Amino acid sequence: MVLVIGVDTSCDDTSVAVVDVSSHQVLSNVRYTQAVHEIFGGVVPEFASRYHLEILPKLWAKALKEAGMDEKDMDYFAVTASPGLIGSLVVGLNFVKAMAAVYNKKFYIVDHLFAHAWIGTWTKSFTYPALFLVVSGGHTELYYMNKLGDFELLAKTRDDAAGELIDKVGREYGLGYPAGPEVDKIVMNRWQNGLSVKPYPLPKVDYSSFSFSGWKTRAIYNLKKFLSDTTGDVDIDEKRCEELHVLMDSVAEQLLSRVEYWLEKKNVECVVIGGGVAASSYIRKRFEEFGNRRCLKVSFTPRKFCPDNGAMVAAAVEYALTFGSRPWVDFGDYFSDAASHSVFLR
């Protein structure tokens, strides 16, 4: 057994997990979502860091208890260092550094996006060469793995991220925050009832980029224009649902267009989708259909590991132990040995 306790405090979720990276077994994975941000319609960084400070020690203890272990049983500690909200990251980083010093443990500092991608290699249907699509609230990126551990960045967002777009439009449509799960329910209901829509035109950018700029404004404007141009009794809810369907269909089309383009350029046996948006039933259905048409294996990170979580942070240590100090070049030099610990940096 190689036991790792992983911590993620990159945004508004606090999570701690205990993982045996040698057997890919998650022994515990506890997570706390800060509901306080709902009343503001988005994450307030100062509140996020203060809640991490309060919650993290409790989750640390809970994760160890659920795994039936304590700190002395761990081989390594791990924590997200970037990207994310700086105040939130500092809370997790300093906590794990302190615990590592107390228990004399080596700790790894993990890149958040790398963690989202790497845990995709733990899915049962994963094979390589593969494409990895990471779609979350803050990032939309596509990677190619020619052989295990050898990553190449193919495409990334040049402006808004897909998850951010969905949450913001849903909030403006009165679905609260985070709106993604509610938007997904609405769109899946329409799709299951056989309703179809025409997506927005794809952005005029090259296939090394994702771009969702202007789509939020368009979705809000379309609904307002409908209301201003219509007289008498109108079904506002139906129009709102239709516009959300258009939005999600447009997101799916853009994601698929990049994957399809790079499938023609690279030798690929599998496509892996991870990150918070990968929990969307609609996105999953669209990619499953695409895979069936192309006779291509499509693999999804399990839903419990799609949001930010400590398990993926702990899992990333497997890479360090397997491949040493030279990870994928697109993230720069992750590792530098310093004193009694290794550092895993962007």
Residue 101 sits in a domain of what CATH number? Answer: 3.30.420.40
Residue 252 has pLDDT above 90, yes or no: yes
**Of 300, 318, 333, the domain-final residue:** 300
Q: Name the residue range of residue 313's domain.
A: 3-117+306-344
For residues 117-139, give the mean pLDDT: 90
Report pLDDT for 235: 73
DSSP H helical segments within the chain, as ranges?
Answer: 45-67, 86-103, 112-118, 162-172, 180-192, 215-229, 236-265, 281-294, 310-315, 317-323
Using pLDDT thresholds of 50, 70 and 90, give the confidence band for residue 338: very low
Joined together, the tokens standing for residue 236 give 């506002």
**How many domains are contained in the chain?**
2
Domain identity same for 192 and 288: yes
pLDDT exceeds 80 at position 215? yes
Higher-confidence residue: 297 or 346? 297
The answer to whether the peptide bond before residue 83 is cis (omega within 30 degrees of 0) is yes
pLDDT value of position 234? 63
DSSP output for 119-156: GGGGSTT--SSEEEEEE-SS-EEEEEESSTT-EEEEEE
| 187 and 153 belong to one structural domain | yes
For the chain, give the mean pLDDT.
Answer: 88
Domain boundary at 285, 300, 315, which? 300
Query: 62 and 18: one domain?
Result: yes
Give pTM, 2 decimals: 0.88
Give yes or no: residues 26 and 142 share one domain.
Answer: no
pLDDT at position 230 is 73
Answer with the residue of higher pLDDT: 62 or 346: 62
